Amino acid sequence: MNKATILLALLVSGALFTHAQTPVLHDHDGDGIADHDSHDDHAGHDHDEPEEGGIELDAEMMRKLGIQIQEAEPGTVARSSVFPAEIKLNRDATAAVSPRYPSIVRQVFAEIGDSVKKGDVLATLENRETMAVYRTVAPLEGVIISKNLAVGETAGEDRVLFEVADLSTVWADISIFPQYQHLVRKGMRVRFIAHDGHTAAGHIKYISPIISHETRTFTARCVLEQPGEDFTPGAFVRAAINVETVDAAVVIPREAIQTLEGETVVFVPGEHGFETAEVTVGLDDGYNVEITSGLGQGDEFVAAGAFVLKAHMLTSGMDPHAGHGH
């Protein structure tokens, strides 16, 4: 069992934490955690009521759990705009298979949806002029996405018998409104959101210089690596692009924000250990969040490790409303 697993197990069991309402003795064992008074641990305590007070940790245990405290400061948050996007085949990783000569189809070995490797035999055909039989093979590793032949048919050199696509990458074509033409640039990061909320990320590789007559938009294209099932060709998704940055009085890392019983909170150090403070958020670019109330410039908060404190609060039955900010 590795160190992280042991810490998580202790976290869930509550062994890593002490609470301010429980008498605490000095730490004589050097393990960084104060011991509870065993005689008073359960006395007069109603287990049906949530525990009150903060979560007490010493410096060594904070280090082990990755908890970091910072002061709230001004900063910038990116403002994003959302555009429609369509997932398409990566045509640079798609190949068509056609007869080499006017031919008759003799055998077919592949079906739509089959995974193939480069060189796999897909069909055998007979040259109509020489009567010689030859094989057609997969030109690349991928999946059969189309099939247009049957045994006994004649096929000219212009017929596409199979299409093979490497689906490990796809194109994501974004429709950019003309008013954003000068804000969207090659290399910008894009966050794609599927209909069920799943996300994927990419960077703009190409921007079309021509506006579509049909949609009155121009296209920005990303290449998505290893897309999930929500980002298969044909899917329509949303694309969020950070088109500008905004100055804010208080900006904190996204990971510092937690949700407890429907409230948006951060953890702050208080007189009785770490407590929750309810905050109101403004702009959120996925990395940094603007705080409009509940945390002022210079106030200390838990910038890293807030999820660990939340997990303990949920598993120990502590009252999330007790403490700072309520």
Name the more confident of 56 and 178.
178
CA distances from 45 to 21, 40, 42, 189 (A): 10, 9, 5, 53
pLDDT of residue 123 exceeding 50: yes
More confident residue, 244 or 218: 218
The least confident of 44-58, 114-128, 183-197, 207-221 is 44-58
Judge whether residue 184 has pLDDT over 50.
Answer: yes
Cα separation, 33 vs 61, in Å, equals: 7
Mean pLDDT of the chain: 84
3-state secondary structure of 314: helix
- Contacts from 118-124 at CB under 8 Å and sequence distance 24+? 122/97, 122/161, 122/162, 123/149, 123/161, 123/162
**What is the SS3 string spanning 152-177?**
CCEECCCCCCEEEECCCEEEEEEEEC
Asked which of 22-36, 192-206, 216-230, 259-273 is least confident by mean pLDDT, the reply is 22-36
Model confidence at 10: pLDDT above 80: no
pLDDT tens digits along 130-170: 999 999 999 999 999 999 999 999 999 999 999 999 999 99
pLDDT at position 34 is 41
Other Cβ atoms closer than 10 A to 111: 10
Q: Is 72:269 a contact under the CB 8 Å cutoff?
A: no
On whether the CB atoms of residues 211 and 178 are closer than 8 A, the answer is yes
Q: What gap in Å lies between CA 184 and CA 180, rounded to an integer?
A: 6
> 74: how many CB neighbours lie within 10 A of its CB?
10
Name the DSSP class of 148: -
Q: Which of the four pLDDT bands, split at 50, 70 and 90, describes residue 320?
A: low
Q: What is the pLDDT of residue 273?
A: 86
Q: Report all structural domains of the chain as residue ranges with CATH numbers, in order of start.
A: 80-90+168-245 (2.40.30.170), 93-165 (2.40.50.100)
pLDDT in tens, 222-257: 999 999 899 999 999 999 998 888 899 999 999 999
Read off the pLDDT of residues 43-85 as tens digits, 9 standing for 90 and up.
444 444 444 567 888 888 888 889 999 999 999 998 889 999 9
Tens of pLDDT, residues 258-283:
998 889 999 999 888 899 999 999 98
